[in-house]
């Protein structure tokens, strides 16, 4: 089994932290893992993308081919659309609904959301608001990871939650708990959208 995930967003939104948590969970589960270098301008404001490949068998390439990604996990709605060419026909888009307007000609927000909602398999919500609700305004990336937790499949939501504790261990118990709370709210949001 394998799972190919495109991680995307804007520099400074925490894409690398999502990749680190998934990678930690995959390693703990004994999976094979390849991650492409982050492409784009990783400083604040530039678009960022990384390929993350998990498998029960050895993975030979770190790049995901067009039309083969199982999940596009996006911190920003326009960035989700930017990488649609990589999505498999039965793939899922899991994205933030609120834009980070970082360019002067950013598309109309309502038109952008309508285009995303027209896709066959979409989970979308306001991750920034949920992060604030969790008491961790900087934890929107963990909310997004929580939204994807049940869709990743090769690592369990519990394995991802445990990986958050290991990844953030050096930052102290409060940071761990805040990030786990944000993750839990994202999981709950995804469940509500299924119902």
pLDDT at 109: 87
Structure-token match 């950013």, residue found? 106
Contacts of 67 by beta carbon, 8 Å cutoff, 6+ apart: 85, 86, 87, 88, 89
Query: What pTM does this model have?
Result: 0.92
Residues 23 and 35: their CA atoms lie apart, in Å, by 9
pLDDT band of residue 76 (cuts 50, 70, 90) is: very high
Q: Which CATH superfamily is domain 2-194 in?
A: Pyruvate-ferredoxin oxidoreductase, PFOR, domain III (3.40.920.10)
Q: What are φ and ψ of residue 98, in 5° steps?
A: -90, 135
Say what percent of the chain tops pLDDT 70.
94
Residues 172 and 84: their CA atoms lie apart, in Å, by 37
Identify the burial level of 24 via C-beta atoms within 10 angstroms of its C-beta, where 0-12 means exposed, 13-18 middle and 19 or more buried: buried
> What are 162-177's pLDDT values in tens digits?
999 999 999 999 999 9
pLDDT at 195: 45
CB 84 within 8 A of CB 62: no
């Amino acid at each position: 089994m394998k799972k190919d995930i495109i991680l995307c967003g804007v520099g400074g939104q925490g894409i690398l932290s999502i990749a680190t948590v998934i990678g930690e969970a995959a390693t703990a589960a004994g999976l094979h893992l390849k991650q492409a270098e982050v492409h784009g301008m990783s400083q604040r404001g530039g678009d960022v993308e990384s390929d993350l490949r998990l498998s029960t068998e050895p993975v030979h390439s770190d790049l995901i081919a067009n039309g083969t990604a199982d999940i596009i996990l996006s911190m920003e709605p326009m960035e989700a659309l930017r990488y649609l060419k990589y999505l498999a026909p039965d793939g899922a888009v899991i994205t933030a609904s609120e834009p980070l307007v970082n360019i002067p000609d950013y598309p109309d927000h309502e038109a952008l959301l309508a285009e995303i909602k027209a896709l066959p398999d979409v989970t979308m919500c306001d991750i920034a608001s949920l992060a604030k609700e969790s008491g961790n305004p900087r934890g929107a990336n963990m909310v997004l990871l929580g939204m994807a937790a049940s869709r990743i499949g090769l690592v369990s939501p519990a394995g991802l939650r445990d990986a958050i504790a290991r990844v953030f261990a050096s930052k102290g118990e409060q940071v761990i708990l805040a990030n786990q709370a944000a993750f839990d709210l994202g999981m709950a949001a995804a469940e509500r959208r299924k119902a």
